[in-house]
Chains A and B, each alone.
Chain A
Amino acid sequence: MKSKNVLLLILFLITIFSCRKIIDYKIPDSGRKLVVNSFFNSEDTIKINLSKSLHILDDAEYEFINDAVVSIYEDDQFVENLTFTSNGNYTSNYFIPSQGKNYKIVAWNDDFDEVSAIDYVPNSVLINSVDTATTTFVSQNGTLNNTIEENVYEFNINFDDPSGDNYYMIKMQYIYKYQYEGETFTYLYDIYDLKYNDVIIEKFLSNQGAVIFSDDLFEGENLNLSLFVSKYNFYTLQTPVIISLYSISEAFYKYSISLDEQQNVAGNPFAEPVQVYNNVTDGYGIFAGYSVEKFTVFVDGEETYYIE
């Protein structure tokens, strides 16, 4: 809020004083590149999406690449060529990646030279326990109008960090069931307003409602991490809440953070733009592995009655 006010004021001043001019500025064009997008895990076939980049001043729609040859390698051993399905998507037929192994993807077509990317599927990490408690939380997110105390549920998540560099992402969802004309409907909702005050958390990814962090501050140790969720997220007694602990690769971590940051500063001319992490050689995009372990707890929500 504080900075925002100042910024708004500056923008206001600028709109008063400034003048706007479209300039003919030559942005170099070194041709298009192949874009690879894939998040893969050890529970599903591998899927990748191929598309084509655009020059920054190009107003066209993105084009999918539907005629590429895409090969997958496991620990440098050729496994198979992926099968094209639709809209730039390619999938393995039966092959499912394994935890702890390295995978390499190679893709090319008549227009593009070979691009490649390498990543691994991290070992999944079990959640030992999740303790819940009700408490109050004073938010510190820098917004002045929003710094009042809130009644929240505290979810204390306990897990053991394996040795080595590890990266994590935690996401929470809840299940909402209701009956209508004798039929039960079940919905899975993402919880988007996770709150935290633990310094180990690197960032809250606002697009995904997930917190992301590395094990720099608790290497190889047992960790208790508290996340807080406003009570008003839950409407029913004994609401099932699913806590997902993602073990993510370094590439996944760097990509998610930089992508979120690029989006955060987009459109602000006074902020330094953020470069998004890229692990595709000779192309753009992300090819990153992850594993996930889920844990369900039940909390009593505030029962809310809607008045028609």
Chain B
Amino acid sequence: MRVIFVILGLFCLVNISFSQKNLTISGYVTDKNSGEKMINASVYDAYTMKGTITNEYGFYSLTLNAEKVKLMISYVGYKTIEKEVELTGNVALNFKISSTIDLAEVTIIGHKNEDPIKASQMGIIEIPLQKVKSLPVLLGEKDIIKTIQLLPGVQSGSEGTSGLYVRGGGPDQNLILLDGVPVYNADHLFGFFSVFNPDAIKNVTLIKGGYPARYGGRLSSVLDIRMKDGNNQQLSGEVSIGLIASKLTLEGPIIKDKTSFIVSARRTYVDVLALPIIKAAAASSGVKTSAGYYFYDLNLKLNHKFSDRSHLYLSSYIGDDRLYVKTNTDYTYDNVYFEDIMKMKMGWGNITSALRWNYKINDKLFSNSTLTYSRYNFYVGNEMINNTTEGNVTNSMETSVVYDSGIDDVTGKIDFDYLPNPNHYIRFGMGNTYHSFNPGITYIKYMSDFETSIGSDNIRANEMYSYIEDDININTQLKANVGLHLSGFYVNDKFYKSIQPRISSRYMVNEDWSVKAAFTKMDQYVHLLTSSKISMPTDLWLPVTDKISPQTAYQYAVGTFHNIKNKFDFSFEAYFKTMSNLLEYKEGAGLFSQAASWEDKVEMGKGWAYGGEFLFQKNEGRTTGWIGYTLSWSMRQFDNLNFGETFPYRYDRRHDISVAITHKINDHVDIGVVWVFGTGNAVSLAVEQYMGNQFFDYKDPYNDDYFYYTDVDYYKSRNDFRMPSYHRLDLGINFHKEIKKGHRTLSIGIYNVYNRKNPFFLNFENQNGHTNLVQYSLFPFIPSLYYSIKFGKKSEEINIE
């Protein structure tokens, strides 16, 4: 704590020395209609040509040496505000900006707030939420992560799943933050859907490289998702019905302009619809069965404004997947009635919570203190009840077994934004996370006389970090984001520490063209043990130990960014990344093994990835969207896998193209088109088979020559084949209509329009004495329907510019 005061003191000194002639304008930028804080809105003085952007909480601070300023507050899709201000002293100014159409979500196409050409950072993309809502998607279930997968440098893994493989990294190397809280498993239904409900989300930013120093703890990407704060002007909401799930969102003021809330819930109903079918099917076989699967999400957020200086936020996410099977078999034998009841349940889910206090210390210094909790839990349980009834006497025998694994995190952190003058944007802070890993415990109960638990004890660890970064305008051409992230991890009496420099810089060649370069080091203290090629809820998060070292990555990136006629953005980024201490299960281990001695079942190795990413974007006009192309390589080398030889990573994908375009036909109809193409996933295939020798220490007295053989498949190298390439076209059309006190949208979508049979996995199969290679595909042509009603927004205010 003393350190913080010293740093604060220093900054106050710097502050005094800087501000002798300078005056500071500070405040918040909010949406006029909903009161939502605007993130990354631009605040610019047209006279001095200096500017800044708002932070995650809508706060800005601009210190200028001028007597009169002409402020321009802008945000794409919103009307720009111009305001002339005579400066006589420091001034607090809050701006409320209104969208060019009040039904903002319908027409905010694109987000060009901090100009990507002028920003010092690279490898950073803000995901237009409007695109998430208007692009067609599998089964019509809008999904943030599936939209992110359409960006260059990001791969999706297996068909239909919401895994993220960024720049050759693994799915555990993404820091997924929901309101600043890490989410450990972002998957529903084995990854076919992600846990983020777009109705509750305000802003999504993906960072693939050039990581600012304020982020740390994962190697390959940061996905920073911010929930809406809740409309503090009027009660509004949205109800939607899709093919697999329904959603309800409500937001509104508790005390107008001061306290507001948002609640958003989603639940699937496949189980409800399928239950009669399962029952009927089971009844025909004489067993009473009920079974089902569902998932739900609940997002909650409350915020309260004490004053312009002080805001409090409480946000929470709860989500679960549940699977249950119950069977009941009964029969009578020899006048004894037997009844066997079997109940199986399985579930997994996350809980995240954040309590956050924003406090403006002075016009230039903004603080944010946060307490967070994150939990991921997986369980599977079996219960058997055997009842035997003879006459009036019933004997009952009960056995239950429950397996449980997961991770719990409690974090405290404090962050500061310090803006001494327009040439510096300094951020610094520190935090500590207390982790508790549960690698898997089995609880067994037999009647009341036997109770035990088997498994490893929880592993507890402390992860701490501090950082400082500065976004510096060196001159009009050169800008740099320079930072340092320090972290440490304490586990089992062992302390790991790391110093991670982060540098990202931009040089303006001319007004429409910039070049950038970045170097970053990242360290990761948690590993995800994945036992299978697909994402499973049983995948275990485990910490580094005295035997297993932290993962480390160095990334080097260069890029060029162009603006063409103020209409198109074109960028090219090239990257080279090295990764060390990556984990893989030993060959053949893992699938059904316990986590008890997991350290002995894994291999450590290294990896490297390199490639180029092209992105062509159009953000304004009736037709908007992007075309992305990635050319990439991702390799791995483990001393004890593939006989020590280098092999391609499972998601090494040479070519990856995505096209995501929306076109607004008129105010009532817009269409969305997605086309993706990717080189097939890497796969190991046997090329030959031969007789192997099964060892038997046994001499057959009758036939000394007997040779016990078994089949051996010969694999030349791991992942040396490619599945057939992946491509798919999705189309969607959205119809919008104003209704009384609201707005309704009907979306019709088609997934995989030309019914491409994309490979999910390949298998050698023998049929009628003939061996073939068989390809299994998952999703054929699938139409979808989605209907939503928004209410609470005043329709008479619509005016299109």
Q: Measuring CB to CB, which residues of chain A are less than 8 angstroms from any residue of chain B?
A: 1-7, 9-10, 13-14, 17-23, 25, 27-30, 32-33, 35, 37-39, 49, 51-59, 62, 85-89, 138, 140-145, 147-149, 171, 199, 207-208, 244, 246, 252, 255-266, 268-276, 278, 284-286, 292
Complex CA distance for A268 and B532, rounded to whole angstroms: 10
Residues of B within 8 A of A29 (CB): 687
Q: Is A269 in contact with B763, judged by CB distance below 8 angstroms? A: yes
Residues of B within 8 A of A51 (CB): 690-691
Q: Is A25 in contact with B773, judged by CB distance below 8 angstroms? A: yes
Q: Is B757 in contact with A207, judged by CB distance below 8 angstroms? A: no
Complex CA distance for A6 and B591, rounded to whole angstroms: 11
CB-CB contacts of B612-644 with A at 8 A, as 1s and 0s? Answer: 000000000000000000000000000000110
Complex CA distance for A5 and B532, rounded to whole angstroms: 13
Residues of A within 8 A of B391 (CB): none
Complex CA distance for A264 and B589, rounded to whole angstroms: 9
Q: Measuring CB to CB, which residues of chain B are less than 8 angstroms from any residue of chain A?
A: 190, 323, 344, 346, 380, 382, 401, 403, 442, 444, 446, 450, 452, 454, 531-534, 536-538, 587-589, 591-594, 596-597, 600, 642-643, 684-697, 705, 707, 709-710, 712-715, 718, 724, 757, 760-764, 766, 769-780
Residues of A within 8 A of B594 (CB): 140-142
Residues of B within 8 A of A268 (CB): 591
Residues of A within 8 A of B777 (CB): 18-19, 21
Complex CA distance for A14 and B161, rounded to whole angstroms: 13
Across the interface, A3 reaches (CB within 8 A) one of B538, B589, B685, B693, namely B538
Q: Is A56 in contact with B686, judged by CB distance below 8 angstroms? A: yes
Q: Is B537 in contact with A6, judged by CB distance below 8 angstroms? A: yes
Nearest A residue to B770, CB-CB: A59
Q: Given contacts A56-B714, A59-B770, could you give 9 more A-B pairs where the C-beta distance is less than 8 Å?
A: A10-B190, A51-B691, A199-B600, A252-B695, A261-B587, A264-B588, A269-B776, A270-B761, A271-B532
Q: What is the CB-to-nearest-CB distance from B673 to chain A, in angstroms, rounded to a whole number?
A: 24
Q: Is A57 in contact with B771, judged by CB distance below 8 angstroms? A: yes
Nearest A residue to B696, CB-CB: A208
Q: What is the CB-to-nearest-CB distance from A191 to chain B, in angstroms, rounded to a whole number?
A: 14
Residues of B within 8 A of A270 (CB): 532-534, 761
Nearest B residue to A267, CB-CB: B763
Residues of A within 8 A of B712 (CB): 259, 262, 276, 284
Q: What is the CB-to-nearest-CB distance from B95 to chain A, in angstroms, rounded to a whole number?
A: 50
Residues of B within 8 A of A57 (CB): 764, 771-773
Q: What is the CB-to-nearest-CB distance from B600 to chain A, in angstroms, rounded to a whole number?
A: 7
Q: Is A208 in contact with B694, judged by CB distance below 8 angstroms? A: yes
Complex CA distance for A52 and B714, rounded to whole angstroms: 13
Residues of B within 8 A of A292 (CB): 697
Nearest B residue to A217, CB-CB: B600
Q: A6-B538, A272-B533 are known contacts. Are A55 and B688 too (CB-CB below 8 A)? A: yes
Complex CA distance for A53 and B716, rounded to whole angstroms: 14
Residues of A within 8 A of B764 (CB): 56-57
Residues of B within 8 A of A9 (CB): 323
Q: Is B380 in contact with A2, judged by CB distance below 8 angstroms? A: yes
Q: Is A3 in contact with B531, judged by CB distance below 8 angstroms? A: yes
7 A-B pairs closest in CB distance: A261-B588, A37-B693, A53-B690, A269-B761, A270-B532, A274-B587, A35-B690
Q: Is A54 in contact with B697, judged by CB distance below 8 angstroms? A: no
Q: What is the CB-to-nearest-CB distance from A194 to chain B, in angstroms, rounded to a whole number?
A: 15
Residues of A within 8 A of B597 (CB): 199
Q: Is B346 in contact with A6, judged by CB distance below 8 angstroms? A: yes
Q: What is the CB-to-nearest-CB distance from B770 to chain A, in angstroms, rounded to a whole number?
A: 6
Q: Is A271 in contact with B442, judged by CB distance below 8 angstroms? A: no
Q: What is the CB-to-nearest-CB distance from A80 to chain B, in angstroms, rounded to a whole number?
A: 19
Q: Can you list 19 contacts pairing A with B, beta carbon distance less than 8 Å?
A: A1-B380, A10-B190, A13-B190, A17-B778, A20-B775, A29-B687, A35-B690, A52-B690, A56-B687, A85-B705, A88-B707, A142-B594, A144-B380, A264-B588, A269-B762, A276-B713, A285-B692, A286-B693, A292-B697
Q: A208-B694, A273-B715 are known contacts. Are A18 and B760 too (CB-CB below 8 A)? A: yes
Complex CA distance for A142 and B455, rounded to whole angstroms: 10
Q: What is the CB-to-nearest-CB distance from B62 to chain A, in angstroms, rounded to a whole number?
A: 54
Residues of A within 8 A of B710 (CB): 207, 259, 263
Complex CA distance for A286 and B714, rounded to whole angstroms: 13
